[in-house]
Amino acid sequence: CRGAATGSTRTTAGPAWPSPARTTAWSPPTPASPSDTTSSRASTPRSASCKADKCVIASSGFQGDIKALQKNLAARELLYQHQHNKRMSCPAMAQLLSNTLYYKRFFPYYAFNVLGGLDSEGKGCVYSYDAVGSYERTGYSAQGSGSTLIMPVLDNQLKSPSPLLVPARDAVTPLSESEAVDLVKDVFASATERDIYTGDKVEIVVINKAGTRREYIELRKD
């Protein structure tokens, strides 16, 4: 099945917004975004938002910039709908996000994004960004303070063996939806153990042709 899962973690228990002392530019809360053909990603607190036709963005970093960026994209998406009489496809949103970020190349949005959704063929797609808009379509991705803990696990589980091997194998190991969601839960639980900023809860968003659903999973609160 094709879908996307987004998980996010809350940095602190309690207030809706992390206290200013925590939310510094230096240590973004942990977002992480694994994804594969079923497209699962994880994102930072309150920054998974629904956009476009089955497309979700997850951002980690400075919350002020994240809010501004996501509001900007939401407005652009609405304008697009009015002008072109259709919803924005995920690849179009991907390009738009890249351009929006590069537009502020010399005063960047401190936001590390992962975009996930279904492309025009209904396959899962994940786009991973840096702060200035460099992007790549991948099968899975992780961003944020826990990314260094999560990405190696995803690589190990999902990445293909070397492209030099014969016979040729698939670029990314296809997973079923439940396998992908379980993987997301596992990697977040692991990241929570060692990364101080990751924890409390993870929000998992699954996108497939049936629709979009969200799950909240509790994590260690210390």
- 72 scored as a contact of other proteins (CB under 8 A): no
Least distance from C-beta 89 to other proteins, angstroms?
7
Would you call 206 exposed, middle or buried from its count of C-beta atoms within 10 A (0-12, 13-18, 19+)?
buried
For 165, the enclosing helix (H) or strand (E) is none
- 91 scored as a contact of other proteins (CB under 8 A): yes
* CA–CA gap between residue 29 and residue 80 (Å, rounded): 31
Provide DSSP, 108-150.
Answer: ---EEEEEEEE-TTS-EEEEEE-TT--EEEES----STTHHHH
User: Closer to other proteins at the Cβ: 86 or 123?
Assistant: 86
User: Closer to other proteins at the Cβ: 71 or 86?
Assistant: 86
Part of the chain binding other proteins (CB under 8 A), chosen from 12-20, 24-32, 92-100, 167-175: 92-100
User: Closer to other proteins at the Cβ: 120 or 176?
Assistant: 120
Least distance from C-beta 88 to other proteins, angstroms?
7
Sign of the Cα torsion 121, 122, 124, 125 reads positive
Part of the chain binding other proteins (CB under 8 A), chosen from 57-65, 76-84, 196-204, 212-220: 76-84
Question: Radius of gyration of the chain from Cα atoms?
Answer: 16
Among 20, 85, 106, 168, binds other proteins (CB under 8 A): 85
Part of the chain binding other proteins (CB under 8 A), chosen from 56-64, 89-97, 140-148, 198-206: 89-97
Part of the chain binding other proteins (CB under 8 A), chosen from 25-33, 85-93, 171-179, 196-204: 85-93
Query: Which candidate, 212, 217, 185, places its Cα nearest to that of 117?
Result: 212
For residues 97 and 116, the answer to whether their CB atoms sit within 8 Å is: no
Least distance from C-beta 133 to other proteins, angstroms?
12
- 92 scored as a contact of other proteins (CB under 8 A): yes
Which region, left, alpha or beta, applies to residue 98 given φ > 0 means left and ψ of -120 to 50 means alpha? alpha
Query: Which candidate, 48, 6, 43, places its Cα nearest to that of 28?
Result: 43
Residues that bind other proteins (CB under 8 A): 80, 83-86, 88-89, 91-92, 94-96, 99
